[in-house]
Amino acid sequence: MTSAHEDVVTSVSATRLVLAAPLDGVVHALEDVPDHVFSAGIAGPGVAIEPSRPQHGPALAHAPVAGRLVTLFAHAFAVEPSPGSTVLVHLGIDTVRLAGEGFALYASEGEEVALSDPVIGWAPDDVEARGLDALSPVVVLQAEPDSVELLVEPGRTVTAGAPLLAWTVPSPG
């Protein structure tokens, strides 16, 4: 038996990756996200997390999988565990409007990150105080919907680093 952090099973035709929750919070169905690109699955399948509010310091968004940090903005990041496969973590809805204010980067674009490495610190309460939603989508970009399995049902609480999604990644070639 392997731990959640080691749960990668390889076969000739596909690899099963277990993606960890990047945030502490309550899981929501992607359809409930108040942004059509996410709720309609245009960006890809996944879930959203209503982040918990830490008592002290910033909320931290962690890498949901080991890989290369291919995109990093103050409010969002994407990790590529293998070429052509990318996982997006988007902190809040329309938070690009904040132009980075209230977010702290703990990593650099292009850097290799380990599972659960902190990537961004932020304050969900501050996001909501500015009239924006802190609900945070976690999406497998452009994956087939049936290739992603929810490991935590909507309405359940999840802890950063715990298994969240299982993604069956087709082998290249």
Taking each continuous run of H as one helix and of E as one strand, the counts in the chain are: 2, 15
Contact 164, 23 (CB under 8 A): no
d(CA 18, CA 163) in angstroms, rounded, equals 6
d(CA 26, CA 134) in angstroms, rounded, equals 12
**Dihedral-angle region of residue 142 (phi above 0 means left; psi in -120 to 50 means alpha; beta otherwise):** left
Q: Where would I find the H helices in the chain?
A: 36-39, 124-129
Is 5 assigned a catalytic role? Answer: no
Q: Which of 94, 106, 100 is nearest to 136 (CA)?
A: 94
d(CA 33, CA 154) in angstroms, rounded, equals 12
Which positions are catalytic? 90
